[in-house]
Structures are given as C-alpha cells and as structure tokens.
Amino acid sequence: MLGIKVRQQVFLLLLSLLFITACGGGGSSDANQLDNGDVLITLTDAEGDFVTYTVDVLSIRLTRQDGTEVETLPMNTRVDFAQYTEMTEFLTAASVPRGVYVRGSVILDYTNADIQVEDAVGNALPVTQYLDSNGDPITTLEVAINLDGRRQLPIAPGIPKNLMLDFDLEQSHVVSVNDPVTITVNPVFIVEVDPQAPRVHRTRGPLRSVDVANNAFDIYIRPFYHRIRTGQRIFGNLRVLTNDETVYEIDGVSYQGTDGLTVLDTMPQFSAVIARGDLRFNPLRFEAKEVYAGSSVPGGDMDVVRGTVTSRTADNKVIVKGATLFRTDGVIVFNDNVTVQLDASTTVSKQLNLGTFNIDDISVGQRISVFGTVTKDQVSDLQMSAANGFARMRISSAHGEVAALPDENNDLTLRLTSINGRNVSIYDFTGTGVDAGNDADPAQYEVDTGSLSLTGIAADDLVVTRGFPTPFGTAPADFTAESIISN
C-alpha cells in the first residue's frame, strides 16, 4: 500500500456570542427562548495533501447533561474542507437552551463526496472508495464528540464560550493510491475550550443593513456553497464591525474605510457580501479587514475560477490548478486544471492592497480568483476568458527548508517543497525571471523578507512564508513575504 502523508486538520469552533442575533436554529421545543444562549459554529482546516475534500455535513448535535439533544445545523451543508486553509468559516448562529453540554456528534455524508488526493508527483487522484476502520464501505459517518471534564460547554445568556473541535485529518485517514484509490476514515477529534489562538475568519451572505454611523453592517449568514438568496435567513445573522483600515472591493472597484462602507450603504438589501477579518475579545466582536460585495462575490453574473497559477505563457494564458469553478447558473464544480486567458481589459486587484495592478503582476504560484466567462466547458479541457473581467491576487503560502539565510538583499533562500499546499513539481517557472537564467528555481527559491524578523530561524529549518510571488518576468526575488513562520 502506497500511503500519502496527510497534514490537514479541520476545526469546528462553537461560540456563544453576544453580538449575534440568531434565528431559525435548533433547540428543544419546550425551551424558554429568553433563557437561551447563542451558539456560532465555524469550520476551518489547514493545508495538506487533500486537493479537495467535499462532503455533506448533515448534522451538528449537542447533548446537555440532562440528555436534551439540540440540533444546531438548520439544513444540510456541502463543504470542501480543503478550500478553507488558514481560515475559519462562520457556519451558523443557533439559539440553544442554557445548560452544560457534555457530548455531541457530527454526521458526515460521503454518498456524493468529491475527494481527491495529491500523489508523490503532484497529480490529483479521485478517491473512489471510502472505508471505515472495519474495512466496510462508508455512506454516512457519525462522529462522537466528548465534552467531559474541563471540556464541558456551559451555555448561558450573556456568557460567551468557545469550543474548538479539531478534526485531525492526518490521524483520521489512511490513504492508498493503488487502484482503486481508497481512504480509510477513523475520525480523531481534539477538544479545546476557549481557544485564544488568532485565526482569519470569513463570513458570507446577503446584506441585511448598514450602520455607517457605528462603522458596522449586518448580514444573513449563508455559508460555504449555499446560494445567496433573498430571504434565506435560517443560518442566523452576524454583525460585522469595520474601521478606517478595512479594504473594500464592490462591483470590482476598490475603497478603504468610511468611503467603502458608504458605498456599501448604497447597495440594495440582500446584495451578496463576503467579509474576512478577526474575532476579537474583551469585548467579543468580529472586525473585518476586507469586504467584497456585489459582482465581486462569486455567484453573480460572471463565472469564477479560484485556484493557483501553476504556469504562464507569453500570450498571457495561465493554468489554474486546484480550481473551484462557480458558474453563473449556481453550479459549483471542482476541476484540477483550468486554462484562463488573461486580457489587457482584465481588472486586477491584490488582497488587502489599494495599489494599481495589471495582468503582468500575476505570476506562477499566485493564488487567484478570476471572474470571467467560460469559453469551453469540457471537463478535460476547461477554458475561461477574463476579458472585461476581474482577477484578484490572494495571499499565497510557500513551504520549504531554509537553504541559506538572508543576504545583503534580505533574500531568504528556500528548498521549496510546496506552494499553496501543492507539490512544487507541478509548477512550471518558465518566464518568471528577468531572463531565463533568473527564472525561479524551487531548489533555490529566493524570498524577499524585507524588514521581517527572522529571529530563531536557522539553516535547514522548515518554514512557511505568506505573501505574493513577484510580478511575472521580474525575478529575482521570486516571492515577497508578508510573514514567515517556523514549523
């Protein structure tokens, strides 16, 4: 059996939050609603060898000490856990009876699962067989959650609590790439109450209202792949706080601070919105660093491809791998290879940056979202035109070992192993340098560290650097770091 090391972890984070107005969630039929606490459930995972891990979440249930069971998930939810690396998604805000919750369960449905793994040379292989620990085929899998001892979850009105359930995919799966490609699932959960480690959070849904005077807006939560529709409110409501540093992209135009919130206030109610930011404490609140609205949100009047650029040609064609395709008719599919034709008319933006950019800034290794028109929809040859569309450069992650510490140019040299979780062998760096001799070399990948502190980082250390590949045809350096973390 040839195994693949899977490094992903999935987290479920349950939060009783004062700033949420829950509606339509679970709860016992005889519960006094005035005696309920609000629970916000979020999901996330970390980078690893699953190219896509799409399953249906059928239920997230909590059980109180007295045996009362509370269903917190209002409807089945399809989730691609592999798409939520380094980010936590707000799933639902549910009103549940007060009390101490001592156990729970999550039900996953593999009936229509789309799970693909990366082999040793970077190819995406569809999993065709799902087995439990006894070797029996899986359809649905109920995972027990133990909340005993210090991990008990007390819920009471006005008392925020945090419960993180860490679904460790590395320990939970054995992968075989023999024919048929098989995963054996034996779920391992690690429970932590009131975790304080910072994580980027994301929420999406239709706009409810805007409060310019108080630098805030409210949305109806529509998580993951649920279509953003008028009146769909069963996942609850969320208040999003903004400030002068919040960056907006609304209908393809960039703004910052009050200017962006004022434009958002002119958008019709139920306009599509996505916000990314931080969960803060004392007091507990969600603060947005970036907000997207209108046609800048997938699911509007353009097709959208989201993935990583693995090669680029002189005629401005890029190959996007690990691609999720959002069609204008609401269909969402995963395809590991999409050809995108960039164009001079393509409007280019950069995550958390108000600068001016164009298609020359898009290089190999760039995580990207492209809004355009699918011109060929064959699964074996998906193609898109970005003419008169948008391309958003998103923060990318480069993993590797330190080959050399920074030189006089502050360039840290890595022996690169992966970019955005994909094996470096799938990337073609031709054309990335000022000339062929300066094209990016994964064995000596040069990272501009600028003024970042590298204290404690030594030769041969494993590091993760987050930032952006330098514009196409301008290397060295090959990558500009915004943060560096030693593994």
Predicted confidence at residue 43, as pLDDT, reads 58
SS3 state of residue 317: strand
- Where does the pLDDT of residue 85 fall: very low under 50, low under 70, confident under 90, or very high at 90 and above? low
Report the DSSP beta bridge partners of residue 479: 447, 469
Cis omega (within 30 of 0) for bond into 187: no
Residue-wise pLDDT tens digits, 105-120: 989 999 999 999 888 8
Nearest alpha-carbon partner for 471 in 363, 369, 396? 363
Range with the poorest average pLDDT among 34-48, 162-176, 315-329, 364-378:
34-48
- Across the chain, mean pLDDT equals 85
Per-residue confidence at 374, pLDDT binned at 50, 70, 90? very high
Phi, psi of 419 (to 5 degrees): -125, 130
Nearest Cα to Cα of residue 173 among 12, 418, 8: 8
Using CA atoms, how far residue 190 sits from 8, 40, 144, in Å, is 14, 19, 11
Residue 365: left if φ>0, alpha if ψ -120 to 50, beta else—which one? left
Using one digit for the tens of pLDDT, what is the confidence trace for 325-356? 888 777 788 888 999 999 999 999 999 999 99
CA distance 160 to 174: 37
Mind listing the pLDDT tens digit for each residue in 263-303? 999 999 999 999 999 877 777 678 999 999 999 998 778 99
Cis peptide before 195 (omega within 30 of 0): no
pLDDT tens, residue by residue, 462-473: 999 999 999 999
Provide DSSP, 327-362: -TTS-EEEES-EEEE--TT-EEEETTEEEEE-GGG-
Tokens at 395, concatenated: 């923060």
Helices and strands (H, E) in the chain, number of each type: 2, 37
User: Which pLDDT score is estimated for 49?
Assistant: 74
Rounded to whole angstroms, the Cα distance separating 308 from 469 reads 11
Flag whether the pTM goes above 0.85.
no
The reported pLDDT for the residue numbered 440 is: 98
pLDDT over 70 percentage in the chain: 84
pLDDT at 218 over 80: yes
pLDDT band for position 250 (cuts 50, 70, 90): very high
Distance separating alpha carbons of residues 259 and 216, to the nearest angstrom: 13
Question: Do the Cβ atoms of 130 and 185 come closer than 8 Å?
Answer: yes
Query: Is residue 265 within a helix (H) or strand (E), and if so which, with residue range?
Result: helix 258-265
Residues 6+ apart with CB under 8 A from 54: 78, 79, 80, 81, 82, 113, 114, 115, 334
Amino acid 15: pLDDT = 44
Q: Whole-angstrom Cα distance, residue 428 to residue 340?
A: 16
